[in-house]
């Protein structure tokens, strides 16, 4: 089993928690926006992907800056899709 975490402190915390519980799991850093992290993940043997990376913004749509919309779509749609497509093969 492999678990991915966005930032290193999360990786270390999950590794420690798993060890304390006697759970054998490989924990990797996987920020879906980071090409190096995605490439590393795509090099692993993965049978099932549970892709739950996502961010949210709220407020009146007319007042949310386009840069924020782009960030949300980059994380929630494009990066998730790129990871899924990378795992499905060429």
> 43-86 pLDDT, tens per residue?
998 888 888 888 888 899 999 999 999 999 999 999 989 999 99
Model confidence, pTM: 0.81
The hierarchical CATH code for the domain 2-87 is: 3.40.50.720
Query: Domains of the chain: which residue ranges?
Result: 2-87
Q: How far apart are the first and last CA of the chain?
A: 24
> 32-54 pLDDT, tens per residue?
999 999 999 999 988 888 888 88
Q: Are 49 and 2 in contact (CB under 8 A)?
A: no
């Amino acid at each position: 089993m492999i678990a991915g975490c966005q930032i290193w402190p999360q990786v270390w915390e999950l590794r420690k928690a798993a060890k304390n519980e006697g759970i054998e799991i490989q924990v990797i850093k996987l920020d879906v926006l980071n090409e190096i992290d995605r490439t590393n993940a795509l090099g692993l043997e993965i049978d099932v992907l549970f892709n739950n990376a996502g961010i949210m913004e709220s407020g009146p749509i007319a007042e949310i800056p386009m840069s924020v919309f782009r960030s949300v779509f980059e994380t929630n749609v494009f990066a998730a899709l790129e990871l899924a497509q990378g795992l499905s093969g060429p």
